[in-house]
Structure 1
Amino acid sequence: MSTHPEVSLAQRKRQLVSDELTGAALHLLARKGFDAVTVDEIASVAGVSKRTFFRYFASKEDVVIQFLAEMGTNMRAELAGRPAREPLSLALRHTVRVSVDACAGHTEQALRIVQLILGTPALLARFLERQAQWRDELAEELAARLELDPRAGLYAQLAAGIALSAFSTVLQRWSTSGGAEDPTALTDQVFAMIAPALDAVAKSASQERVEGFTAPE
């Protein structure tokens, strides 16, 4: 008989425990602040032992980093699924809005988590580190979209960097406003400003690609 159902059950159980720990940690961190929460407290609220916590996470910081990692994965997946002929600025606006809307959808707790990340030096450093990784991942997708050599994807790196700068700006404004400003509306506003630059990058990349194909040896 196949053992796949047993593996799937084990995976579901592991995911359930991970979700419980993540939920407990983010709730406590958002409510009390990063330094005021201990691993013991997180484990207690989640109903597991401290040893169990460390089977899933190396530290309480890693719980937040996982939250960030999922944001990057979702953005890359969204960009990969956008229509091929869609203007670059529109494709990237939808890409960024995936994570912005996810934050906005959880309202108060998500706002506190964003404020926690931006206001805690250790977490902010990891956030910036993640953004560098996201830039490279989005640039890979953009290079494929623009039919560019990934090894020389100057245009793709530039476009990904511009989009992620917009993302950071939206989160910062939303955070400092205490949630008073609508992050989705902010995203649309920011992308309206940078759309000409993004579409100019796409146009330049297209021209270089054509010239590269037609230039005499």
Structure 2
Amino acid sequence: MSSRPDVTMAQRKRRLVSNELTEAALQLLASQGFDAVTIDDIATTAGVSKRTFFRYFASKEDVVVQFLADLGSGIQQELAARPVGEPPSVALLHAVSVPAAACGDHADRALRVVQLILRTPALLARFLERQVQWREELSAELARRLDIDPAVDLYPQLAAGTALAAFDAVLQRWSDSDGVEDPVELTERAFAVIAPALDAATAPPERTAPPERTAPSA
């Protein structure tokens, strides 16, 4: 008899527990503050033991880091799914707009988490650390799409960094507005600023007309 269904059920159960822990942790951390919440608080709210918590996460920070990891992998996956011939600015705009839209669709929860990350030094440091990995992933995908060597051409790293800087600016503005501004609209405005630079670097060079010949003087 195959054990595959049992493995699948175990994976589903593990994912369910992980989601419950994540949800409980993010709600508590966002409402009470990072320093005020203990791992015991999270475990109790999720209805599990402290020992179970440590089977899934090493610390409170790791709960938020997992949230960030899912966010970053979503951007990379969306970029990979865009049409290959699409201008980089358009492809990157769509890739970044997906998590921005998700934030808008779940504004109450997402806003609290974003504000928690941006206003807690330890979490902000982990956020910036995680973005290094995001940049590498986006850079590799851009290099693949454009068929260029990232070890030679600076464009993939610069374009990925520029797109993520725009995303950071959107999150900061959305956080500062307490959710009043629309993150999708902010993303579109941000990319309107950076799009010319993103696309100009990949456009074929303009061909200049040869200088006109002048008749030799008599």
Whether contact under 8 Å (1:139, 1:153) holds in the other structure is no
Distance across 1 between alignment mates of 2:126 and 2:103: 18
Match of 1:210 in 2: none
- Are positions 1:193 and 2:193 aligned together? yes
Distance across 1 between alignment mates of 2:134 and 2:154: 15
Match of 2:90 in 1: 90
Whether contact under 8 Å (1:171, 1:183) holds in the other structure is yes
**How far is the alpha carbon of 1:84 from its aligned partner?**
0.8
Alignment of 1:68-87 (within 5 A): 68-87=68-87
Alignment of 1:1-217 (within 5 A): 1-203=1-203
Letter in 2 for 1:45: T
Whether contact under 8 Å (2:150, 2:157) holds in the other structure is no
Deviations 1:159-207 (A, max 9, x none): 001100000000000000111111100001111111101101222xx66
Whether contact under 8 Å (2:22, 2:63) holds in the other structure is yes
Deviations 1:31-89 (A, max 9, x none): 11111111001000100000000110001110000000001111110000100111110
Aligned residues: 205
Match of 2:211 in 1: none
Whether contact under 8 Å (2:43, 2:49) holds in the other structure is yes
**How far is the alpha carbon of 1:152 from its aligned partner?**
2.5
Distance across 1 between alignment mates of 2:200 and 2:156: 12
**How far is the alpha carbon of 1:99 from its aligned partner?**
1.4
Give the 4+ runs in structure 1 shifted more than 6 A. Answer: none
Letter in 1 for 2:150: P
Distance across 1 between alignment mates of 2:45 and 2:152: 49
Identity of aligned residues (%): 66
**How far is the alpha carbon of 1:153 from its aligned partner?**
3.9
Find the residue that maps to 1:150 and give its secondary structure: coil
Distance across 2 between alignment mates of 1:44 and 1:202: 53
The TM-score, its normalising length taken from structure 2, stands at 0.92
Whether contact under 8 Å (1:143, 1:156) holds in the other structure is yes
Letter in 2 for 1:119: R
Whether contact under 8 Å (1:68, 1:130) holds in the other structure is yes
User: Which of 1 and 2 has greater Rg?
Assistant: 2
Question: Which consecutive unaligned segments of at least 5 residues does structure 1 have?
Answer: 208-217
Distance across 1 between alignment mates of 2:153 and 2:114: 31
Whether contact under 8 Å (1:144, 1:150) holds in the other structure is no
Distance across 2 between alignment mates of 1:102 and 1:154: 31
Query: Structure 1 residues 113, 92: closer, same or farther in 2, change over 3 A?
Result: same
Distance across 1 between alignment mates of 2:175 and 2:153: 33
Distance across 1 between alignment mates of 2:17 and 2:153: 41
Distance across 2 between alignment mates of 1:83 and 1:141: 12
Whether contact under 8 Å (1:159, 1:201) holds in the other structure is no
**How far is the alpha carbon of 1:30 from its aligned partner?**
1.0
Superposition CA RMSD, Å: 1.0
